[in-house]
Every structure is written in C-alpha cells, then in structure tokens.
C-alpha cells in the first residue's frame, strides 16, 4: 500500500492538475489503462486509445508525447503533427512550448521549429508574454522573440500574473513588473500570485491581502490564505477552512479540514478523510466520498475513490469514466 499511494498522488497531479500556464482548453482528458495513456472527451468517450508510455496534457490543441526516448506532439485526433525529435518537451502556452535538446532548453512554435534556440539550463512556460529562463545560476525573462527583457539576476523564476511577479531577496518577498522594475518592495515573509487585483502575503505568522500598489487591503488575520478565484479565496482560521470575498468578509464559514480554490464554480473540500465539492454558497453538491481529488477543468475533475480507482466526474457529480482497480 505504501507503494500505491505515491503512484495515485502522481496520477492525480499529472492527469488532472497539471502545472501553471497552458490550461486544458481542448476538452480532452488523459486516462491510464494498463500503464498506457490515452484521452477521453468530457462525455467519457475514448478519443485517443491508451497507447502512450509517457504523455502530457492537451493545451492549444496539442499534446506532448514520448516515443523511443524522443518527444513530439499529436493533435486532438491522435495524429502526429510534430515528429518525436526532442529530448524532452512540455505543453504549449501562448503559441510556444519549451523543448530540450541535450541539456539545453529553448522554445518551439506550433510546427516544431525553434523560435528561441536551446541555450538555457532551465525555462518556464510563457505567461503574459514573458517566459522565465535560467542562465547559469540566475533567472531572468525573455519575450516571444527571445530577447532578454529582464536581466538574469533572480534566484527564482519569475511567473507573471496581472502584470506582476514575485521575487525574493535578503529583505523578503516583493514584486517586479514586466520590465523588471521593483513595484512592491521586498518586505513579506511569503507571498502568493496576484488574482482579481489581490495577492496573499504572510507577515509575522498571519496572512492578509495586498493590492497592486502593495497596500494591505485585507488585514493580516488568517492562519493561511490562497489566491482569489470566482471572487472567493480559501482561508484557514484556526484549524478550519472557509472562504472570504474580495472585501475580506467571510462568505463561507470555516468548517472544512481543507479547501481549494474555486474552478468552474466548484471548490474541492475535505472533511475528515473524504473529499467532495461545494458551490459558491457553501452547499455540498458532490458528496464527500473521494480519497483524492483534482480541480474542475473543461467540465471534468479527476478523483480517486476509496478503492484506489481513478475516475472523472462531471459538475453534476456523475462519473463519466472509471479505471480498473489498481493492483495491491
């Protein structure tokens, strides 16, 4: 059982949550059958038969897959549109995907041509027109033409949201704009990304929210806080999680053992050892019955039931696809 749980966690994260940027905009969802990856539509119909050993998630109509130790891309019909040729590659975001040749990373276009030559030791996906790249031991940002617009002087990659990206120096965490100019001086113990004009910040053991000028607009009072989505943010008060609105007022009383942000109008919440989903009124709309869950994207969310079966549920709570039980 100890070996099964990490696999299940990985499956939930890789097949459901994904990473930053490049959302699941194709309405195709990865499934795994007999250790092979395929894809279903949001009705649960298999569109691409499970046949791939390694593959990513669809973004901008393409998905990265591996064959014979090289990576290429296929379209939503399962047809290869970029032959496997890269040592590794990732999802498309803003018309570009990061790809590695040897030990160096660059960016390709939708035809597989390098538009930013592979010369960086690490990169992050494009977001708001910029991509973080690492030269030697420092991070900077390039534009879509490959021009370095923010010098490589940061210890962490810059990820922009609403025009600002968090950075850290000896004074703490602050934010820079898309020219690299410091807009909010480093002063916080920890921070989150901006969303709906607000970002969570942590100072002296409590979380609050600042605006894009760095002004504290929701006082430091929470034991933890997430970013806003659908005009609500998850917060922890004591041992329980609830949600606040954009004015900082409690919109859903703290009564959950864990809660995630809202996606497509639903939030995953946990009570005891079971997960389910609530709507924005706080009403449970998909019963607390799962062992692990992902967030909704394209109308489906991936879940893991108590028998370790992976499944997809729709917003009505109906299971549209379910795997065979994992071997134990």
Class of domain 195-328: mainly beta
Cα–Cα distance list, 184 to 142, 164, 213, 222 (Å): 21, 9, 7, 21
Domain ranges for the chain: 195-328
121: left (phi over 0), alpha (psi -120 to 50) or beta: alpha
List per-residue pLDDT tens for the chain, 328 residues long. Answer: 333 333 333 333 333 333 344 444 568 999 999 999 999 999 999 999 999 999 999 999 999 999 999 999 999 999 999 999 999 999 999 999 999 999 999 999 999 999 999 999 999 999 999 999 999 889 999 999 999 999 999 999 999 999 999 999 999 999 999 999 999 999 999 999 999 999 999 999 999 999 999 999 999 999 999 999 999 999 999 999 999 999 999 999 999 999 999 999 999 999 999 999 999 999 999 999 999 999 999 999 999 999 989 999 999 999 999 997 655 4
Instruction: Put the strands of the sheet holding 131-135 in their side by side order.
Output: 122-123, 131-135, 138-142, 148-154
CA pair distance 29, 32, nearest whole angstrom: 10
Torsion region of 281: left, alpha or beta (phi above 0 gives left; psi -120 to 50 gives alpha): alpha
Three-state DSSP state, 76: coil
- For 179, half-sphere exposure in the C-beta direction (CA atoms, 13 angstrom radius) is 3
CA distance 267 to 310: 19
Q: Give dist(CA 234, CA 183) in Å, integer.
A: 26
Q: Residue 220: phi, psi to the nearest 5?
A: -65, 110
Q: Are the C-beta atoms of residues 158 and 150 closer than 8 Å to each other?
A: yes
Q: Which two tokens stand for residue 26?
A: 């194709």
CA 208 to chain CA centroid, Å, is 22
């Amino acid at each position: 059982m100890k070996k099964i749980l990490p696999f299940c966690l990985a499956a939930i994260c890789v097949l459901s949550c994904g990473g930053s940027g490049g959302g699941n905009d194709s309405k195709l969802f990865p499934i795994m059958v007999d250790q092979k990856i395929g894809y279903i539509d949001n009705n649960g119909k298999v569109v691409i038969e499970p046949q791939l050993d390694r593959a990513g998630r669809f973004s901008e109509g393409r998905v990265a897959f591996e064959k014979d130790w090289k990576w290429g891309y296929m379209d939503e019909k399962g047809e290869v549109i970029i032959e496997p040729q890269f040592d590794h590659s990732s999802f498309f975001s803003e018309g570009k995907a990061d790809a590695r040749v040897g030990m160096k990373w660059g960016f390709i276009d939708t035809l597989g041509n390098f538009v930013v030559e592979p010369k960086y030791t690490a990169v992050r996906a494009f977001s708001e027109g910029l991509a973080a790249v690492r030269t030697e031991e420092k991070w900077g940002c390039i534009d879509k033409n490959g021009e370095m617009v923010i010098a490589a002087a940061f210890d962490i990659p810059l990820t922009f949201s609403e025009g600002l990206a968090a950075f850290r120096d000896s004074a703490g965490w602050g934010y820079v704009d898309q020219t690299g100019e410091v807009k909010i001086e480093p002063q916080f113990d920890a921070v989150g990304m901006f969303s709906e004009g607000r970002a969570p910040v942590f100072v002296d053991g409590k979380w609050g929210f600042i605006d894009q000028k760095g002004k504290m607009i929701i006082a430091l009072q929470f034991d933890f806080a997430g970013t806003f989505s659908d005009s609500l943010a998850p917060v922890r008060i004591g041992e329980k999680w609830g949600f606040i609105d954009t004015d900082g007022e409690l919109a859903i009383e703290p009564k959950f053992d864990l809660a995630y942000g809202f996606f497509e109008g639903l939030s995953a919440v946990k009570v005891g050892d079971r997960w389910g989903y609530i709507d924005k009124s706080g009403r449970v709309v998909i019963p607390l019955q799962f062992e692990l869950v992902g967030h909704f994207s394209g109308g489906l969310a991936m879940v893991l039931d108590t028998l370790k079966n992976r499944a997809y549920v729709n917003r009505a709570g109906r299971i549209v696809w379910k795997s065979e039980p994992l071997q134990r």
